[in-house]
Structure 1
Amino acid sequence: MSAQLIYDLVPLGSTLTYSDGSPRPPERHRKKLAAWENRNSGGRLIRKQAEARVGNTTIPASITLHEGDYGSQGTIVLRVHRTFSVDSDLKFTVKERPAIGSVLVLDRAGDDAELVHLAADRTAAAECRAAGNYGRYGSRGQCGGEDGRMSAPASETNVVETSGFPGVSFGKSADGLPVALVDEHAFAMAPARNGRHFLVTGWRIRRPMADWTRSDFYGHGGDLADEKAFRAKVLENAEHQREKIALGRREERSTANTPWGPSQGTTVYADGVVFHSTAGHGGFLLSPDRNRKVHPSIRVTGGAYEEDEAWAIVAFSFPHLFTA
């Protein structure tokens, strides 16, 4: 997969390899081998840095891998980090993702945080954070470096719970609301009348969760009985997103004419099954071959299935392309 897909989809803590596709030179060709190893190696994903603009220059988003350490007698004198632009021509492979239930300890809050330790569970992560006994990722100590030097004060460290990808984070907003983050989808439990609550949603809030406020959320997701119900809703959304990722859908630009107006973008579910978004209502367009597989009693002539009234026909006809 590309560096862009690693940036978009793969969680911190994953082990990756990368390659330019060329064969490995014989050991006797040391210079050629060294050049090859510079473009064919691997490491652990420890940072994702968003696109930045400096003056008139745009710096593309990037990913950083921790590739190894050099030292002796328990003392690390050199850590090797490698940063790749999302425009890199190298091909990446995910060898291992963080175990379910593992917890990422980050050096600070925010989108550009760097992984300093991958703890087995929340208890281990909390002990690590409280002790402040961690260095940069890759140290040999219980919670990072054996020398005990900190990369950041414990109070600045953010702990993110992961259970597969996308990971799920829970916390409190600046105004005391229970909040959560799943990939770039934000959630909060807002108060309502008579002691009830309701789910509100947001998108791409570019601040730490502790700085969020009620005004960051604009969507309404239904009533909630309590915080337990809030967490259940968030975890349900995370599972839904995981299923969508596993289905391998892809987003594409489109200006095609549809029965609902000009397309503003498409989601390709599979060959011949394409969902079009428009300024008004959108829907699915099926290829002739796909449309013939729809039962005649519910088949739409022409293969255009409007999103509100007829999308269920597509889901019924091709259940393997939809989430549970």
Structure 2
Amino acid sequence: MRDRIGRAAHDYFAGGAGAEITLRDNHAAWNRIALAPRVLRGVGERDTAVTLLGERRRHPVLVAPMAYQRHAHDEGELAMARGAAATGTPMILSSQTTTAPADVARAMGETARWMQLYVFRDRALSFEIVEAAREGGYEALVITVDFPLGGRRDREIASGFTATHPTFLNHGENLSPDVRHTRHDPDLTWDDIAVFAEASALPVVLKGILHPADAELAVQAGAAGLVVSNHGGRQLDTVVSGADALAPVIDAVDGRADVLVDGGVRRGWDVAKAIALGANGVLVGRHALWGLARGGAEGVERVLSDLVDEFDSTLALLGCRTPDELSRDHILTAPWA
């Protein structure tokens, strides 16, 4: 993959914060969970559909927001959108998109899309994204809350990654990572969430929740959903994985908002584990991005189709006909952990 997209871009996408302990643990944590199947349950007819933000979705997988996708493939977010739409997978478009949100919306067609939002010191930039989301028919605003400033990413620094494809917000200007990161507002607080909810008139999902106490505050702030996430291990090294943080957060939310999770989800049984723990959906990031880099829209479609098919077969092998039948009764601590 490094040969295909270049070392700097590869290390930007693949890398994490510090010594990348959390980056590695994100997937390892799912492997520490063992599955306990039930048998003789009559699983010949199955349905992978779930309900997210009050709408029926074909399956519980969404494409996570990822910046600078044209550094992975010439068609970038357009190809990601087409691959996602082909599998009925909602896509969350990054604020740092290298493609205009309106163009991505057209590529998605009737498939749901959500818009990720960074809150910047210059609020006008953030409200520009909010307006694009409203005009483009995006269903939800996903506010990333774990980025008061950029984490130290040693691998990215060593490779010297610089964006050569301007983002939608940069209006044709290339900015260094250091300059981009100084745009983020480190003084963002819970009081700001309602401002963006009102401005967008969209359901708000908070991405970057790891602590149960913050999950409670998210519900109190009016969040329709939250994403248990450590930013793909890219912000602070040695923080808890999404898999390990998920159950306590779900218990704190207690059904008052939808809960999604990301970080290290690569296989259909990872998706099943998340749903069994109580999640309503999962976000897939790098896994889809590598599909984009390998084969554009067709590569994305294959990755997502394989993941959903594997989730479907996992349901059957666990003795479940629908995601609703998954529960913590299907979860054990792995003996090899």
Higher relative contact order (CA 8 A, sep 6+): 2
Structure whose residues are more often helix by fraction: 2
TM-score interval w.r.t. the shorter chain?
under 0.3
Q: What is the TM-score with the length of structure 1 in the denominator?
A: 0.26
Structure whose residues are more often strand by fraction: 1
Which structure has the larger Rg over C-alpha atoms?
1
